[in-house]
Amino acid sequence: MRLICQCSVSALIAIVAFGCTSPTASVGLDATVHFATSVESSCWSLVTPAKVYEPVDLPADFRVEGLKVQVVLTDAPGWATICYVGPLVHVKSIAVQ
């Protein structure tokens, strides 16, 4: 019985340790800047053919509806939003296409 308990605890520790890590890899994409509005909120998003992302730190110079950009994004763990248009991301670099 003691061996089963120790194995369960070891497995639980491993799951928590690996589950709490956030991917830090950067993703480079071609995207279009979009200003999403609704009755409840409004926010900027980066639209790609495959997915929509919500940047938490889109530079003011790039807040132009329809602007075509190339961006490098990383996850933004610990941030919250009221828009919920897509995963929250940090903009590591951005340039006009």
- CB-based contact 53:46 (threshold 8 Å): yes
Q: 23-96 — its CATH code?
A: 2.40.50.140
Tens-of-pLDDT digits for all 97 residues of the chain?
Answer: 555 544 443 443 333 333 343 345 787 899 999 998 878 889 999 999 999 999 999 999 999 999 999 999 999 999 999 998 999 999 999 999 9
| Whole-structure pTM value | 0.72
Would strands 27-37 and 42-47 be described as parallel, antiparallel, or unpaired?
A: antiparallel
Q: For residue 22, give both structure tokens.
A: 């956030």
Q: Where are the domains of the chain?
A: 23-96
Please give the C-alpha separations between residue 2 and each of 11, 15, 26, 68, in angstroms, as whole numbers: 14, 20, 44, 60
